[in-house]
Chain A
């Protein structure tokens, strides 16, 4: 009986062990980005821009040139890189504090300009690295360390729907919201990430995937239950789908 490898660690990931909590879906998404980079053959021409947040260490995990941007500013850093070197591929990887709180101006304008960069937006409805505070994407009624009585619309406003805002920017060439709480959804997310990179490779414009993700530690539940919680609570709030697709069928 001979066996062949069909699935293994992608080239575009280093050997470093991830610093994420057990069951945190950041790790899945990192792997998907790396698989896509490998399949598109662009590892040696890609620069990763890591955010401030749990994934600040992404610069260690991706086997590409990498930097860490100031909080929220990754799309601006990526813009600077891409304008300096349009021949390279640049992606940002950002959480909900980085992209949807402090970084709203930068992401909106990068999308509006149709910057040929790719953004992976990890939405887990909470701030991870700083210990579980409210994020703009936190659901109403959700208890966090800064909404101990549950988020109230009156005081704290509503969960921010980033994909719906970004879809209005005409520079967007690909935009989707997916989730990673089942193996099938992981496959769908990978397809979306690939298209978001193809938007850049084909020179069509800005590409982004918003990925609904879990944060077992700060949600206060175990990793497997967190997958179900996402389904029950986040999916009703954040509709899944492809919002913009100028990429068409993959070649």
Chain B
């Protein structure tokens, strides 16, 4: 069964640490960062990006358009 591999990038400066993406990620890719961004939030971080399945739930729930989602291109 081919597994969809994905990757996400989270804009650490835009992120307000709301946690919605963390609460919906089915494979627990995302965690709060230990460090602060310049707004004073602990932004969300793709800590376990190898577990990403490109479901897009994090993108759907992010209220600040911080996340870009990638999917692995199938090679022929």
A47 to B1, CA, bound (A): 47
Chain A positions within 8 Å of B18 at CB level = 22-23, 216, 223-224
Q: Please determine whether B56 and A6 come into contact, CB atoms closer than 8 angstroms.
A: yes
Residues in A19-68 with C-beta less than 8 Å from chain B: 20-28, 31
Kindly identify which residue among B23, B65, B75 contacts A9, using a CB–CB cutoff of 8 Å.
B65
Q: Which residue of A lies closest to B58 (CB)?
A: A183
- Cβ of A186 < 8 Å from any Cβ of B? yes
Kindly identify which residue among A2, A10, A186, A224 contacts B73, using a CB–CB cutoff of 8 Å.
A2
Q: Which residues of A contact B (CB under 8 A)?
A: 1-10, 13, 17-18, 20-28, 31, 182-183, 186-187, 216, 222-224, 227
A6 to B70, CA, bound (A): 5
Q: Which residues of B contact A (CB under 8 A)?
A: 5-7, 14, 16-20, 23-24, 41, 54-57, 59-65, 67-73, 75
Kindly identify which residue among B5, B16, B56, B64 contacts A183, using a CB–CB cutoff of 8 Å.
B56
Q: Nearest chain B CB to A201's CB is how many angstroms away?
A: 24
Across the A-B interface, how many residue pairs have beta carbons closer than 8 Å? 85
Q: Which residue of A lies closest to B63 (CB)?
A: A27
A182 to B56, CA, bound (A): 12
Q: Please determine whether B23 and A3 come into contact, CB atoms closer than 8 angstroms.
A: no
Q: Nearest chain A CB to B57's CB is how many angstroms away?
A: 4
Q: Please determine whether B68 and A227 come into contact, CB atoms closer than 8 angstroms.
A: no
Q: Please determine whether B17 and A27 come into contact, CB atoms closer than 8 angstroms.
A: no
Q: Please determine whether A28 and B61 come into contact, CB atoms closer than 8 angstroms.
A: yes
A17 to B63, CA, bound (A): 10
Q: Which 10 A-B pairs have the closest CB atoms?
A: A27-B63, A23-B18, A22-B16, A3-B70, A22-B18, A7-B69, A183-B57, A183-B60, A186-B60, A7-B59
Chain A positions within 8 Å of B54 at CB level = 6
A138 to B62, CA, bound (A): 25
Q: Please determine whether A20 and B63 come into contact, CB atoms closer than 8 angstroms.
A: yes
Q: Please determine whether B73 and A223 come into contact, CB atoms closer than 8 angstroms.
A: no
A20 to B34, CA, bound (A): 23
Q: Nearest chain B CB to A131's CB is how many angstroms away?
A: 19
Chain A positions within 8 Å of B65 at CB level = 9-10, 13, 18, 27, 31
Q: Please determine whether B64 and A27 come into contact, CB atoms closer than 8 angstroms.
A: yes
A216 to B20, CA, bound (A): 12
A6 with B71, Cβ < 8 A, contacts A1-B5, A17-B14, A23-B19 known: yes
Kindly identify which residue among A2, A22, A26, A224 contacts B23, using a CB–CB cutoff of 8 Å.
A224
A187 to B61, CA, bound (A): 10
